[in-house]
Amino acid sequence: MAGPSDKARFYLEQSVEGLNELERKKIFTKEEISSIARKRSEFEHIINARGSHPSDYVRYIDFEKNVEALRRKRIKRLGVRSVGSGQKTIFFLYNRATRKFSGDLGLWMQYIDFARREKAYKKLNEIFTAVVRLHPTKPNLWIHAAKYFMDTQADITNARSYMQRGLRFCKSSESLWVEYAKLETLYIGKIVGRRKILGLDVDRKKEEMGDDFGADTIALPEITGEDVNPSLGKLDGDDEVALQNLASAPVLTGAIPIAVFDSAMKQLQGGPELAEHFFDMFAEFNQLPCIQHILRHVLDFLQENAPNAIHTIICQFRMQLFGLHLESPEFPPALRDSLELLSATAERDSKHKAHLSESAIRQILPLLRTAEQIDEPALRKVLASSLRKYSRILEEGRKGSGGDVVVELVEKLQQGGLVDDARRLAQAGAKQWPANAKFQHLQISLES
């Protein structure tokens, strides 16, 4: 059996030819080549020795990345023909590292990130296949793989396949179910966007779906490969024909996200909190023609299974205002009814009033900003008063003092990328609790 030194020598010998070529092309000096060879020898003896750690591979890989970056700069500056590729060396090291430490997910994620940056798509396919085989019960890996295929390659077929295979191994993962529904909703958005570009009208044909789902699979509407993936070669590149075919498919009615939601609630025996999580995710796609239908389905589920739950009330409050423009005649009565619903619930359910008030604040902030933009003083006054009211209830519900709980919400909004809402809440908080200097500090940081 070969010892560590023999293994190190074997791998070092494989790199000799490449180093000699770099020296001949005068990309690196003789001294630099000697230094690179010496460092590689040190690293090879370390990683082949008994008791090596993943961090040893990481340091070796970082060294090779620096060498490769310098090689590329020298080639560009000298104008010489490209010599070799450090990319191959780095991939080889990642492959060795993940084989030796196959259980280290951090190594796998670095491997994936490097392949994405290098746009090595074929290699990425191999990496994802390997990592989910080794770690099939890790929901984040299935999600990561599906997002890669959808975001980078616009490949819904592969993305959906990863999600459904992941659900066979991770049936109880709430995050995987929600991300799968999000993937399908995002795909609808992509189709709708392409149809708008081509000037095609969206056919909102409704189709009812059955509730009889299998234990291991999700019962989805019958859709062919051509229906769900217009980029497939079978279509001979005729996007317009493909998208016209999609007009009559249930994919545009929201049937697939609804099917995923129903299956998730059945599989997980989900309660109102999970249903609200789905509602929050779906509500992000407020421009989709079918989104009201999807949200209504989730709300119907809540009202049927948990009519008095705080999560149901919150979704009902949001649904009453969803999609209404502040200048429409339907908005004022809808706002009145939704605020009355919140007030009655807050008085009745003191246990959950903090959760209720935070949700109310998150919904009121964008409405208040819009009311200010379109110069609606009456609505602005009502919304500003409601914001103060629910800020106070939030403070009381979490037993805060002097606005500190609201400060935490401002920080959460800022971290979530909702900078305009965070700024508006900080301004309101500074007026409501003028003695709390944290609001002033937040306003300064949000303005910068």
Q: What is the pLDDT of residues 404-437, one digit of tens each?
A: 999 999 999 999 889 999 999 999 999 999 988 8
Is residue 304 domain-shared with residue 399, that is, in the same domain?
Answer: no
Q: Report the candidate in 26, 32, 121, 126 with the shortest Cα–Cα distance to residue 83.
A: 26
Token pair recorded at residue 363? 């919904």
Same domain, 126 and 167: no
Q: Are residues 272 and 328 in the same domain?
A: no
pLDDT at 270 (0 to 100): 82
Q: Which domain holds residue 59?
A: 1-135
Q: Do residues 303 and 284 both lie within one domain?
A: yes
Q: Are residues 188 and 85 in the same domain?
A: no
Q: Which of 135, 160, 178 is the last residue in one of the domains?
A: 135
d(CA 254, CA 265) in angstroms, rounded, equals 17
CA 202, CA 192: separation in Å to the nearest integer? 7
Q: For residue 184, tell me if it sits in a domain.
A: yes
Domain final position from 254, 283, 313: 313
Do 232 and 295 belong together in one domain?
A: yes
Q: Is residue 141 part of a domain?
A: no
Same domain flag for 296 and 166:
yes
Q: Quick one: pLDDT band at residue 62, thresholds 50, 70, 90?
A: very high
Tracing tokens 């009145």 back to the chain, one arrives at 336
Chain centre to alpha carbon of residue 278: 14
Per-residue pLDDT at 77: 86
Has residue 1 got a pLDDT over 70?
no
In the predicted model, is pLDDT for residue 262 greater than 90?
yes
Answer whether residue 222 is part of any domain. yes
If asked whether residues 111 and 189 sit together in one domain, one would say no
pLDDT per residue as tens digits for the range 67-99: 999 988 988 888 877 666 678 899 999 999 999
Backbone φ and ψ of 406, nearest 5°: -65, -35
pLDDT over 80 (residue 202): no
Neighbours of 396 (CB within 10 A): 15
- Give the CA count within 13 Å in the CB-facing half-sphere of 438: 17
What average pLDDT does the structure give for the chain?
A: 84
Triad 180, 183, 184: Cα angle to 5°:
90
Q: Which residue type is seen at 30?
A: K
Q: What is the pLDDT of residue 248?
A: 53
Residue 144: inside a domain:
no
Using the 3D structure, point to which of 109, 135, 161 is the last residue of a domain. 135
Residue 99 domain-assigned? Answer: yes
- The pLDDT of 189-195, averaged and rounded, is 83
pLDDT value at 237 more than 80:
no
Asked, for residue 318, whether it belongs to a domain, the answer is no
Question: How many angstroms separate the CA atoms of 229 and 243, rounded?
Answer: 9
Task: Identify whether residues 258 and 372 lie together within a single domain.
Answer: no
Which comes out higher in pLDDT, residue 352 or 285? 285
Q: Work out how many domains the chain is built from and give that number.
A: 3
Task: Give the C-alpha separation, 304 to 199, whole Å.
Answer: 39
- Residue 140 domain-assigned (yes or no): no
Q: Over the stretch 352-370, which tens digit does the pLDDT of each residue have?
A: 888 899 999 999 999 988 8
Residue 121 lies in a domain: yes
The structure tokens 């999807």 sit at: 294
For residues 334 and 272, membership in a common domain is answered with no
What pTM was estimated for this model as a whole? 0.80
* pLDDT tens track for 129-188: 999 999 999 999 999 999 999 988 888 999 999 999 999 999 999 999 999 999 999 999
Residues 161 and 298 both lie in one domain = yes
> Contact at 8 Å (CB) between 254 and 294?
yes
User: Is there a single domain that holds both residue 307 and residue 159?
Assistant: yes
